[in-house]
Amino acid sequence: MFWRVLKTVIFTLVAPGTVAVVIPHLLTKPILDIWWEAIPGLLLFLAGIIAYLWCAWDFVSKGLGTPAPIDAPRVLVVRGLYRYSRNPMYVGVLSMIVGQAWVYKSPAVASYACFVLLAFMLFVRLYEEPTLGRLFGAQYEEYCRRVPRWILPLARSVAK
């Protein structure tokens, strides 16, 4: 388990850390005119961090793998936030970016969030879902029938 945790920490710092923290920071200059206006964005950012870390822990402890595609879980994770969304880790990362767009009132970061959302949607549809279908077969198909791809019940009908 130690090695899975270490690999998860390294992956988290490199991939989500770059996508959700470094790039948004490079796209904007922090402007905090009225600090209380930043509270919703800060809460969204914090919720994103919590969601990502919760999912990463479930991958390590229950899935026997890491969030990195090259060391993916060997057991299908359907607990925790994965009971409500098939992609809560992506939702968490996107929440972090949108939270920063709010805090910094940054159109550049908001535009970047749209680009990241599109990239996540394409990656999920073109790589992740076919791969999980091959690896977990009927178990994954049943999971897809029960749980929406993103977060809203409406998204279930729109995303299929």
Range 34-159: architecture per CATH: Up-down Bundle (1.20)
Taking 50 as the pLDDT cut, the residues of the chain under it are 155-159
Backbone angles phi, psi at 30, to 5 degrees: -55, 125
Domain ranges of the chain: 34-159
Q: What is the pLDDT of residue 36?
A: 83
Q: What is the pLDDT of residue 19?
A: 94
Q: What is the pLDDT of residue 87?
A: 96
Q: What is the pLDDT of residue 2?
A: 87
Q: What is the pLDDT of residue 37?
A: 85
Q: What is the pLDDT of residue 4?
A: 86
Give yes or no for a contact between 70 and 11, defined as CB atoms under 8 angstroms apart. Answer: no
- Give CA–CA dist 106/127, Å, rounded: 31
